[in-house]
Amino acid sequence: MNTGRSTGETPSWYSKLNIFEALWITTIIDTVRSSAAENSVPPLQRAVNKFIKALIQRFLGLFVYFITEEQRKRRKETAEKVEAAVVECLGERVRDLISLDNLATARRAQRRGYASALVTYLTELGDRQGRGVWLFTHEDVVGFYAQFGFRKIGYLVVGEDNPAWTERPVVMCLVSLVLQCRLALNIRAL
């Protein structure tokens, strides 16, 4: 089977799956998890991905027994607000976009370019496929993504109406990158 490794291109079978990359130097220092654009995946593979995702969610659901009632409420509030923001800002177009679902760098490995390399890889993948990329991030991190051409298109606030939350509310920003393909998004801010 041709994996595409000799040409440096992403194997076609791999680009159809949810992408999970990890950069290892003794221990994990940087991870990125992204999801293929739904419309880029054939129906059968989409069904397989959905089944695998359901299995993973069921497994992760076991951890719900270890969180507090307040944490459950916060997770529910966040999920509802994220879904509403995606519908409002991206609508059906979200199915044509790649999502960057998680990017984390170990504190000891920050400011060395690891996260930048992973974001660049993902945006170049989007470019090759003619797709934009979107993600949610904390308001303090929007500047990091701006250097790659992402722009803030909406936001949500979690914890603002919760008297049990003693910290400042958490502001999550929805940012999007329209690549050289000039994918027309016509996105509105919240």
- 32-41, 120-129, 156-165: least confidently modelled range: 32-41
Residue bearing tokens 């359901």: 54
Q: What mean pLDDT value characterizes the chain?
A: 76
Strands 133-138 and 98-105: parallel
Confidence at residue 32, expressed as pLDDT on a 0 to 100 scale: 59
Distances in Å between the Cα of 62 and the Cα atoms of 57, 59, 168 are: 9, 6, 29
Out of 10-14, 31-35, 57-61, 167-171, pick the least confident: 10-14
What is the per-residue pLDDT for 12?
46
Helix (H) or strand (E) holding 151: strand 151-158
Query: Average pLDDT of 127-152?
Result: 91
Q: Establish if 4 belongs to a structural domain.
A: no
Is position 183 within any domain? no
146 within some domain: yes
Average pLDDT over residues 38-46: 81
What residue ranges in 5-125 does DSSP mark as E strands?
A: 19-25, 27-35, 98-105
CATH code of the domain containing 32: 3.40.630.30
Q: Which residues span the domain enclosing 130? A: 16-177
Say if CB 89 and CB 174 are below 8 A apart: yes
Per-residue pLDDT reduced to its tens digit, 128-140 = 888 899 999 999 9
Quick one: pLDDT at residue 71? 86
Instruction: Report if residue 123 sits inside a domain.
Output: yes
Tally of domains in the chain = 1
In a domain, 153, yes or no: yes
The whole-number pLDDT of residue 14 equals: 41
Q: What is the pLDDT of residue 48?
A: 82
